[in-house]
């Protein structure tokens, strides 16, 4: 795991809390205003930001994130805009990874993508549709660039798959709390608790739980047994429902602060 990713989780653990991870698509609601939203996240307790690479076929994304991604695509957001968002986070002292389906990375060129990511200050990549046994070349290239590989494990994953992901991952492991797409169902706590236990039996990497996590109550419960909590659709929804960018920034900041407080563990 890269030092930056390790530090995010180590710092949170030292404060007896889980790390708060937030997702927003690049260029949403537009490139200029997206930076203000990223600032609101960082200023209100978010430890790590996932910058989404807008893609026209988002298999894992539910209707809320799809709407935001569509707004970005309609404005012509490209890879350069993804890296600009990553660079902004890094310049403000934050930590950023890119969340992307693998096809846009492949089309851009994996070597070029990793070079540009590192030059922008990014530290990792989450690839929800890439499985480790089909990623050998990507794994080798990412290792050479000291970029963390972050893979997903689902409740339906076999133990063999859990072992494979645990061996290949170099950042943290993304534990999906439920089957399905983002922003539709609520996290299934019992299911993901069992999944986290299965992962811990195979890996010492931090484990962050995402999908269906929207409220401080959910964050509080998940923070008791995971190293990190990932929230995406709730932030996107706050922006979509805001009448203007100032209201959106205020709503995102307020939600981030509420969720950050909920990451505290019960001693």
Both structure tokens of 233:
């659709």
Q: Which residue has the higher pLDDT, 127 or 183?
A: 127
Question: How sure is the predictor about 190, in pLDDT bands with cuts at 50, 70 and 90?
Answer: confident
The phi-psi region of residue 22 (left if phi > 0; otherwise alpha if psi is between -120 and 50; otherwise beta) is: beta
104 lies in which domain range?
Answer: 3-262
Q: What domain count does the chain have?
A: 1
Paired with 208 in beta bridges are: 174, 228
* pLDDT for position 191: 85
Domain containing 55 — which CATH number? 3.20.20.70
Active-site residues: which are they?
Answer: 50, 61
Q: Which pLDDT does position 185 carry in this prediction?
A: 46
The closest alpha carbon to 265, from 4, 14, 5, belongs to: 14
| Whether residue 124 has pLDDT greater than 50 | yes
Is 181 inside a domain boundary? yes
pLDDT at 179 over 90: no
Digit-coded pLDDT (tens) for 219-243: 999 999 999 999 999 999 999 999 9
Whether 196 is in a domain gets the answer: yes
Q: What percent of the chain has pLDDT over 70?
A: 94
Instruction: Tell me what the mean pLDDT of segment 56-80 comes to.
Output: 87
Q: What's the number of CA atoms in the CB half-sphere (13 Å) around residue 157?
A: 26
Q: Name residue, tokens 């937030």.
A: 22
**Please, which residues have CB within 8 angstroms of residue 199's CB and are 6 or more apart in sequence?**
153, 162, 165, 166, 173, 175, 207
In the 8-state DSSP scheme, what is residue 42?
Answer: H
Residues 6+ apart with CB under 8 A from 220: 262, 263, 264
| Helical segments of 159-244, H only | 159-168, 189-200, 216-223, 233-241
Residue 164 lies in a domain: yes
On the 0-12 / 13-18 / 19+ scale of CB atoms within 10 A, 13 is middle
Per-residue pLDDT at 184 exceeds 70 = no
For the residues 130-159, what does the mean pLDDT come to?
Answer: 93
The answer to whether position 38 is within a domain reads: yes
Q: What is the mean pLDDT of residues 122-140?
A: 93
Is 57 inside a domain boundary?
A: yes
Mean of the per-residue pLDDT values for the chain? 92
Q: Is the pTM above the cut of 0.75?
A: yes
Decide if 267 is inside a domain.
Answer: no
Question: Is 62 a domain residue?
Answer: yes
Residue 89 lies in a domain: yes
Which candidate, 213, 210, 223, 200, places its Cα nearest to that of 17?
223
């Amino acid at each position: 795991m890269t030092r930056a990713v390790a530090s995010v989780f180590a710092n949170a653990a030292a404060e007896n809390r889980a790390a708060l991870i937030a997702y927003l698509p690049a260029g949403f609601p537009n490139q200029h205003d997206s930076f203000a939203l990223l600032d609101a996240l960082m200023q209100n307790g978010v430890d790590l930001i996932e910058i989404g690479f807008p893609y026209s076929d988002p298999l894992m994304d539910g209707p809320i994130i799809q709407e935001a991604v569509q707004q970005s695509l309609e404005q012509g957001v490209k890879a350069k805009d993804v890296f600009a968002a990553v660079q902004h986070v890094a310049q403000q002292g934050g930590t950023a990874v890119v969340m992307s389906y693998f096809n846009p990375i492949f089309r851009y060129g994996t070597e070029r993508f990793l070079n540009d990511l590192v030059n922008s200050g990014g530290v990792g990549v989450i690839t929800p549709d890439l499985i480790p046994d089909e990623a050998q070349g990507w794994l080798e290239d990412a290792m050479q660039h000291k970029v963390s590989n972050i893979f997903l494990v689902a409740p339906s994953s076999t133990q063999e798959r859990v072992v494979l992901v645990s061996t290949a991952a170099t950042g943290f492991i993304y534990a999906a709390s439920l089957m399905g797409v983002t922003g539709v169902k609520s996290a299934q706590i019992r299911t993901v608790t069992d999944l986290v236990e299965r992962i811990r039996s195979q890996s010492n990497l931090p484990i962050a739980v995402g999908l269906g996590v929207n409220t401080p109550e959910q964050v509080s419960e998940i923070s008791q047994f995971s190293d990190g909590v990932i929230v995406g659709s709730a932030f996107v929804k706050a922006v979509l429902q805001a009448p203007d960018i100032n209201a959106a920034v205020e709503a995102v900041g307020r939600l981030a602060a509420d969720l950050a407080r909920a990451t505290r563990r019960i001693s």
